Amino acid sequence: MTRVAIAGYAQSPIVRNADTPLGELAVQTVRDAIADAGLAVTQIDGFTTGSLLPAMGDHASRDGVTCVTSDWVAQQLGVNPRFAAGFQGHGQLSGATMLAVQAVATGAADYVVLHRALHNPAGRYHQTAMAYAEGDAQWVAPQGLWGPLAMIALPYNEYLQRYGGRRETMAKIVVEARRHGARIPWSVWHDRPLTEDEYLAAPTLADPICRFDCDLPVDGVAAFVFTTEERARDLPHPPVFVAGYAQGHPTVRRAMLHWTLDDIMGAGNEIARRLWRSSGLSRADIDVPQLYDGFAPFIYFWLESLGYCGLGEAHALVDSGGIEADAGGLPVLTGGGALGNGRMHGVPQLLECYLQLSGRAGERQRVGVHAGLACHSSPHFGGVVAYTNV
């Protein structure tokens, strides 16, 4: 089977509110990624993205303004691509990556640009003025369940009551993300680490979730160029290969925003099984396991799903310094994650895998790095992509 590689990338500054319209930022970032890969725009014949969100508040969605689809980017670049597709689910970046890989591997396109454009709308991200709940919302909104704080607080409280864990432990996750995010020039948190005391002083919003457990809404765009191994070897940068990928989905139908811990972990366990099988890798091979942390408790769920500890043991692993990378712990947040970069929906995990495996991480470069994982979203509607450089 044709191996698919990432040949180049671009990452815009990640800011609270960009001076540039999102569409313009996206087009510029895609142009930068194409140039970084040593290619011309006319060579790009495939485009893919996940353009969902912000989706829960009352914000109107406008292509090129609040979101940016593949078709829109291709049009702005003046390209009539053979392949343009968007992944619509919540595990967007892993889904969009799979689309890019499939397109290249099948020959549907020779050079595919994957981009992700995130927008921070005016007002509160999830605020709604709904006076009448219909569709899926009728089962949750009248009862007081709305927005991701409640969504993550429910399974996290299940976790705490079943297995334990302290707020001080969750602080270690956020401090680790912000420690690494502070070192990243494009991060919204550049030069702004967080202390445990600052974390613990924050009031809770949905107990015990506080604002530091949530990634910060931002404007930002990243883009990556995918092509075959053979073509990538002729391009300027060391290629990073997609070694495998996996998704898992619960089979139980739930109301919107309603997650249970067992749903999440059931899907997570299946993802891990599929990932090792599809990639031929094992946990011991992985040098940079970049876990998704849009909400801090996801780190527990991914650590346990991927088998870095037993079920219910992630809080103990974290508590004992197990993910403190500077001190020899697992480098799960060395890319800063979502908590250390802003709400880029899985970009930091993919970007850190790419930079480390292509040897382009600069001062942050780790030695002897051969394989990485990029986890995206929550296990039950996200996915994992495995990368290697050999």
**Quick check: 143 binds other proteins (CB under 8 A)?**
yes
Side-chain-side CA neighbours of residue 376 (13 Å): 32
Indicate the residue among 115 and 119 with the shorter CB distance to other proteins. Answer: 119
**Quick check: 123 binds other proteins (CB under 8 A)?**
no
Among 206, 265, 296, 351, binds other proteins (CB under 8 A): 206
Rule CB under 8 A: which of 256-275 touch other proteins? 258, 260
Distance of closest approach, residue 79 Cβ to other proteins, in angstroms: 39
Rounded Cα–Cα distance for residues 349 and 110 (Å):
25
Judged on CB neighbours under 10 Å (0-12, 13-18, 19+), 108 is: middle
Among 17, 42, 88, 161, binds other proteins (CB under 8 A): 161
Indicate the residue among 166 and 277 with the shorter CB distance to other proteins. Answer: 166
Q: In 10 A of CB 297, how many CB atoms?
A: 27
Which of these, 386, 377, 384, lies nearest to 152 by C-alpha position?
377
Rounded Cα–Cα distance for residues 181 and 302 (Å):
20
Helix or strand or coil: residue 330? coil
Q: Which stretch binds other proteins (CB under 8 A): 90-98, 175-183, 199-207, 347-355?
A: 199-207
Q: Output the DSSP codes for 229-276.
A: HHHHTTSSSPPEEEEEEEE---SS---TT---HHHHHHHHHHHHHHHH
Among 147, 248, 268, 340, binds other proteins (CB under 8 A): 147
Helix or strand or coil: residue 210? strand
**Quick check: 365 binds other proteins (CB under 8 A)?**
no
Q: Which stretch binds other proteins (CB under 8 A): 82-90, 126-134, 168-176, 320-328?
A: 126-134
Among 158, 229, 285, 319, binds other proteins (CB under 8 A): 158
**Quick check: 145 binds other proteins (CB under 8 A)?**
yes
Give the C-alpha distances (Å, rounded to integers) separating 67 from 148, 181, 348. 20, 24, 19
| Spacing of C-alpha 63 from chain mean position | 21
Distance of closest approach, residue 155 Cβ to other proteins, in angstroms: 9
Q: List CB contacts of 300: < 8 A, sequence separation 6 or more.
A: 159, 165, 314, 315, 318
Rule CB under 8 A: which of 21-60 touch other proteins? 56-57
Indicate the residue among 85 and 151 with the shorter CB distance to other proteins. Answer: 151
Give the C-alpha distances (Å, rounded to integers) separating 384 from 118, 230, 240, 259, 375. 20, 24, 16, 19, 4
Distance of closest approach, residue 125 Cβ to other proteins, in angstroms: 8
Among 106, 204, 320, 365, binds other proteins (CB under 8 A): 204
Each residue 282-321 as x (binds other proteins by CB under 8 A) or -, in order, gives: ----------------------------------------
Indicate the residue among 212 and 224 with the shorter CB distance to other proteins. Answer: 212
**Quick check: 152 binds other proteins (CB under 8 A)?**
no
**Quick check: 146 binds other proteins (CB under 8 A)?**
yes
Indicate the residue among 35 and 154 with the shorter CB distance to other proteins. Answer: 154
**Quick check: 255 binds other proteins (CB under 8 A)?**
yes
Q: Which stretch binds other proteins (CB under 8 A): 124-132, 174-182, 218-226, 296-304?
A: 124-132
Indicate the residue among 195 and 204 with the shorter CB distance to other proteins. Answer: 204
**Quick check: 167 binds other proteins (CB under 8 A)?**
no
Rounded Cα–Cα distance for residues 339 and 355 (Å):
19
| 8-state DSSP, 7 | E
Task: Confirm if 257 and 301 have CB atoms less than 8 A apart.
Answer: no
Distance of closest approach, residue 217 Cβ to other proteins, in angstroms: 13
**Quick check: 200 binds other proteins (CB under 8 A)?**
no
Q: Output the DSSP codes for 70-112.
A: HHHHHHHHT---SEEEE--SSSHHHHHHHHHHHHHHHTS-SSE
Among 60, 131, 327, 367, binds other proteins (CB under 8 A): 131
Residues that bind other proteins (CB under 8 A): 56-57, 124, 126-131, 140-147, 149-150, 153-154, 157-158, 161-162, 203-207, 252, 254-255, 258, 260
